[in-house]
Structure 1
Amino acid sequence: MEQAVQIFGSILILIPFALAQWGRISARSKPYLLLNLCGSAILAVLAALTSQWGFLLLEGVWAIVSAHSLVALVRGREPRATH
């Protein structure tokens, strides 16, 4: 069951990533950020439950950054771009 949840969380991150790379969705869009937030949060919880600290760090930061950008977007501010 844990493997299925990991795969689900990974898919939530990988699908919007692929779509962004193919120019089908913006990496600053609400759907992209929401899917990344959900996927990374799922994986962070699983990492915490299994004491995988490096994976928890990666997914935890991923979730925090996604959440911060999503909140900024909802509040009407464009997430900062790196140029």
Structure 2
Amino acid sequence: MKESDIIATTGVVILLIAFLLNLPANSTPYTLMNFIGAGLCGYSSYLIKFYPFVVLETIWALFALASLIKVSRGTSGNEQ
């Protein structure tokens, strides 16, 4: 198995675990797992020069990062 395959598999597993755990979408663990998983998938796509997926995963990771910043600041918009 190539390095890019291992990185992609790890990223996808992290994304699927985040989904399967059924964590709240505004929780730090869920958002962090999305950021890491998307980042790994994007990086592995870059390694194999599959640029449409690099764009997709980079945007996903950036949105996850923005959400992670909001969650860490307590401004996720779900205040009661």
TM-score exceeds 0.5: yes
Distance between the aligned counterparts of 1:66 and 1:57, measured in 2? Answer: 14
Distance 1:60 1:10, change over 3 A: same
2:4 is matched with 2
Aligned length: 76
1:38 is matched with 36
1:75 is matched with 73
Conservation of the 8 A alpha-carbon contact between 1:44 and 1:59: yes
| Residue 58 (1) aligns with residue 56 (2) | yes
Higher relative contact order (CA 8 A, sep 6+): 2
2:24 is matched with 26
| Residue 11 (1) aligns with residue 13 (2) | yes
Q: How far apart are residue 16 of structure 1 and its match?
A: 0.8
Distance 1:41 1:30, change over 3 A: same
- TM-score normalised by structure 1 residue count: 0.82
Task: Give the % identical residues.
Answer: 29
State the SS of the aligned residue for 1:51.
coil
Conservation of the 8 A alpha-carbon contact between 2:32 and 2:68: yes
Distance between the aligned counterparts of 1:79 and 1:13, measured in 2? Answer: 23
After TM superposition, the structure 1 stretch with the greater mean CA deviation from structure 2, 65-74 or 41-50, is 41-50
Runs (4+) of structure 1 exceeding 2 A deviation are none
